[in-house]
Structure 1
Amino acid sequence: MFNPRLGCSSISFRHQDLPAALRTITDLGFGEIDLGALPGVCDHVPYDLDAGAVAAVAAEVVASGLRVRSVNGDVGDLNAVLDAKGVAARERHLEALLTLTADTGARALVLPCGALSHDPVRSLEEDLDTIAAGLMYAGQRAAEFGVELWTESLHFLRFCWSLERAELLAQRLTGSGVGIVMDFSHIVAAGEDPLEYLRRHEGRISHIHLRDAVPGNINLSIGNGHADFAAGLRAAAAQGYTGHFSLELETRDVTHEERPAAAAKAASYITDLI
């Protein structure tokens, strides 16, 4: 029904519990998902992710028959200064997320590009160094589980919120194997140009999230904002991008009852552009 490279993030139906969200996505005709594991954003994966919780979520996802492209998770602020207890807690949560990623057959775990703040904890350069080091370490651990590590950068709400900061982080990650997730909505919300983002990140992009936005607002349905998806997807294809796309419709301009129809409409539109 839709292009097989186009999936739907479970975040799009975060108001439903995980079984209901998976049924909705399946009924719409998608074959692939990104699994939301972001506390406070999407509770489909418990933050207290012990072995039992990992097994339960993985079993639910596998039983749905949906392919999983990535698990979109969080292990805390990667530019935070942690004591030994904090480091141990982060390590436990990273291992649990990587186990979930592997057990669901996902290709990658996605982690954020720093704290939910634009202000440095120490300094711009030191924070970028710390974030890059944390991502590269997570990438090394991911390889042990047979999966990849990606980071969503730029992200309008997080430390690497601008084109400049996203590029500085990408430069630090060069050669590390850590992939970059491009999100149209965060780029537009930051007042940046997706085409310039693509130019600066050529050859680095592993996955693309799709949602619309206007400057300052990331929560719009596709077609209700300023993102030029046609031009952006053409540019990505011209660069040789062969990865997948995911509708991450964490929108606030439709009711919950309207979400399935809005997702289907967006998927049909994007399918025509891929």
Structure 2
Amino acid sequence: MTVPPGIRVASAPISWGVCEVPGWGRELAARTVLAEMSGLGLRATELGPPGYLPRDPEALRALLDEHELALVGGFLAIPLHTDPDAALAAAEDSAALFAACGAGLLVLAAATGLAGYDRRPVLDAEQWRTLLDTTARIGEVAARHGLLAVLHPHVGTHVETESEVERFLTDSDLPLCLDTGHLVLGGTDPVALARKHPGRIGHLHLKDVRADLAAEVRAGTLPYTEAVGRGLFTPLGEGDIDIETLVRSVHGAGYDGWYVLEQDTALGDTSPDDLPRQHTARSLAHLGRIVGRLPSG
């Protein structure tokens, strides 16, 4: 497998079914996941949920070096609307680890504090102000460690819907992690968002989505975790998102960050162990065809 030249491509453990949600699914061993990433030609990964990979910088660097992988950064889903001190402490801990391992990104999500992503309470005006203030302070923590903090709109968090994404962009200076799949789940067209706010795209998670299942999740008739188990996210080019137009848009706007192949996966008891590798290989091949058609220079 060949990684497309001219862009920086990475993956993440969630594509192998490794998630912070309790009871999400079966987890493959870390060395298996990293070896499969490396075998596909990928040379970088996000960290995955706390505890999956080592939290000791020396041990983490050694494990990544063993598989010839660099660390892009990591996902930190924490409540931002309450207990700012706890949020800042968590951000400080993760930022220090990421920086010690040569990463450049802290990917932040406004968690509800509830388990999983199937329910979320509504914030009042004061809680929204606290969320914004905490986010700004975490941005400063990240910057002190030489990292860029980005806010990840995500299903089941307090920045999910199109109106919440636009409100955040208006009220905050923090850039976004443009996650194609989670934006669709929240009712946002990722291509339109990239065109409207090209200067606010700080990081990119590429995933494709089945529109029929996404509509059920938005309508509240299908829980998110159940939808994932039913194949909500597909390899690139096999769902209903216009991935090529999105890539062309961000590339044409001068985006030079990571393109992370991140297909949220939940492995059931009968799921083949090789399924994540096969899906990532198909996404990588599709992205390669898109990049091959981009204008040169």
Short-chain TM bin = 0.7 to 0.9
CA gap 1:56/1:246 in 2 versus in 1, 3 angstroms: same
Deviation, structure 1 residue 181: 0.3
Q: 1:37 to 1:252 in 2, by over 3 A?
A: closer
- Taking the aligned partners of 2:74 and 2:68, their CA distance within structure 1 comes to 16
Separation in structure 1 between the aligned mates of residue 272 and residue 263 of structure 2, nearest angstrom: 12
* Aligned counterpart for 1:267 among listed residues 284, 293, 297: 284
Q: Distance in 2 between matches of 1:134 and 1:62?
A: 34
**Does 1:44 find its partner at 2:52?**
yes
Which one-letter code corresponds to 1:44 in the other structure?
Y
Distance 1:240 1:98 in 2: 26
Where does residue 178 of structure 2 map in the other structure?
182
Preserved CA contact (<8 Å) 2:111 2:156? no
Q: Secondary structure at the match of 1:203?
A: helix
1:159-196: per-residue Cα shift (whole Å, max 9, x none)?
Answer: 1111110111122222xxx3310011112222331222
- Quick one: structure 1 residues 28 and 201, their matched pair in 2 at CA, closer, same or farther if it must change by over 3 Å? same
Paired residues of 1:6 and 1:271 also in contact (CA < 8 A): no
Flag the 1:256–1:142 CA change in 2: closer, same or farther, 3 A.
Answer: same
Amino acid at match of 1:110: V
Counterpart residue number, 1:139: 139
Q: 1:60 and 2:87 equivalent?
A: no
For 1:233 and 1:179, the matched residues in 2 are separated by 18
Question: What code does the residue aligned with 2:165 have?
Answer: A
Aligned to 1:99: 96
Distance 2:35 2:188 in 1: 36
Residue identity over aligned pairs, in percent, reads: 22
Contact 1:58/1:100 (8 A) holds in 2: no
Tell me which moved more, 203-212 or 143-152: 143-152
Q: Which amino acid aligns with 1:24?
A: E
Deviation track 1:47-91 (CA, whole Å, cap 9, x = no partner) reads xx6xxx4543343224432122221123x21112x2xxx82x444
Matched residue type, 1:207: H
Among candidates 71, 76, 84, match of residue 73 of structure 1 = 76
Residue 211 of structure 1 deviates from its aligned partner by: 1.4
User: Does 1:248 find its partner at 2:262?
Assistant: yes
Aligned to 1:120: 122
Aligned position for 2:160: 161
Task: Give the TM-score of the pair, scaled to structure 2.
Answer: 0.77
Which of 37, 40, 64 is equivalent to 1:28? 40
Task: Give me the whole-angstrom Cα distance separating, in 2, the residues matched to 1:114 and 1:130.
Answer: 13
The Cα of 1:140 is off from its aligned counterpart by 0.9
Partner Cα distance (2:160, 2:250) in 1: 21
What are the ranges of 5 or more consecutive residues in structure 2 without an aligned counterpart? 19-26, 218-226, 292-297
Which amino acid letter does the alignment assign opposite residue 185 of structure 2?
A
Alpha carbons of 1:199 and 1:193: their partners in 2 closer, same or farther (altered >3 Å)?
same
Residues 24 and 72 of structure 1: is their aligned pair in 2 closer, same or farther, counting only changes over 3 Å? same
User: Which blocks of at least 5 consecutive residues in structure 1 are unaligned?
Assistant: none
* Structure 2 letter corresponding to 1:185: G
What's the CA shift for 1:25? 0.5
Q: CA deviation at 1:110?
A: 1.0
